[in-house]
Chain A
Amino acid sequence: MKNTDRPASREAATFDDYARELHRRSLGQLPPAVHAGLRDARRAALARREGPRMPRWLPAGMAAAALLAMVGSIALQPSADGRAPEAVATRPAKAPGPDPVRDPAALAATDPELALMLDSLEQTPDFYLWLAANDDALPATEHRP
């Protein structure tokens, strides 16, 4: 098998020259419409070049910014008890003390104003029992003139 780039014979070389000459002449015979089309194609291509060009680093920069934002949002995400990590770390531990709902007397021992208020209340349990029993007996739509 022939595997040469050069024409193998003078005949082949002549053929190459003949083909090249025909091709060269054909290029000079393109109709004006084709020339106009090529001019438009070239202008369309060059117009894209003259538009705003995106800097080459922009895609990589945008990706890096997105990654940073993602990492930051994960790091600053609130913990399970709803407080930001910094708040958990910096807030002083809650001092142990009496529960004002469950043990008002203990709270009153530390607060003189509360102690006075509690002393002014009726201390008889029977009174409250009677009051509760009568509340149940009263009709809900009782109208007092």
Chain B
Amino acid sequence: MSHDADAPPRKHPPDIQDAGPDQAYASLEAFLADVGARAYRFAELGLRQREDAMDAVQDAMIRMIRYEDRPSAEWTPLFWRILRSRIVDLQRRRSFRLRWLSPSVTREDGSTPEWADEGPGPSRTYEGREAYARLAQAVAGLPRRQREAFTLRVLEELDVASTAQAMGCSEGSVKTHLSRAREALQRQLEAE
């Protein structure tokens, strides 16, 4: 698959050179192509607004260019850290803007996740979309640190050290936030 198409996630994209525990991407372009869709979903969960999510991803990609000279094994935690801080920044700006303009206005038009119309079948697509929408809504409702820990550690499958690096906290904090996130999500989803 070419890099121009933002491919679905793959555990071992062909651009990854198998370099043992520290897997490395062949190029930054390959890395950005691989991480783009996942970054968008991550930003969508945090911002719940499509344009803001895309802006956050683009900003993170642009900032990643500065770190191209770093070893590619460092790119993953670096990118998630950049994206996370960009999302936090956008959340703060948005809350300030909305408070200033009109406290009653909400722009969370992305409360239902973006979903392609075509799929394996209309009913299966609908089921998958509904199931993900419920999960996304529950994850988006978590406190920020819990949401970040769950998304990075469980959905993105980063190891604890990389998650801690991306979140800018200790590994112990990651474990605590993740444990609380799991409990809250299970409780909420089982109640529905």
Mark A residues whose CB is within 8 Å of B: 1-5, 7-8, 11-12, 15-16, 19-20, 22-32, 34-35, 37-42, 44-46, 48-49
Contacts and interface: CB of A to CB of B under 8 A. Distances in A.
A40 B114 CA distance: 18
Secondary structure class of chain A's binding surface, majority of residues = helix
Given A5-B153, A38-B36, 20 more contacts: A1-B176, A1-B179, A3-B172, A5-B174, A11-B186, A12-B186, A15-B186, A19-B154, A19-B185, A24-B8, A26-B136, A27-B8, A29-B119, A30-B114, A34-B37, A38-B6, A38-B57, A42-B36, A45-B62, A48-B62
Interface of B: 4-6, 8-9, 28-29, 32-33, 36-38, 40-41, 50, 54, 57-58, 61-62, 64-65, 68, 113-117, 119, 125, 128-129, 131-132, 135-136, 150, 153-155, 157, 160, 172, 174-176, 178-179, 182, 185-186
Contact of A41 (B36, B129, B160): B36
A45 B63 CA distance: 8
A46 B125 CA distance: 34
Contacts of A28: 8
Contact of B175 (A3, A26, A30): A3
A84 B58 CA distance: 58
B32 A42 contact: yes
B61 A5 contact: no
Nearest to B156: A23
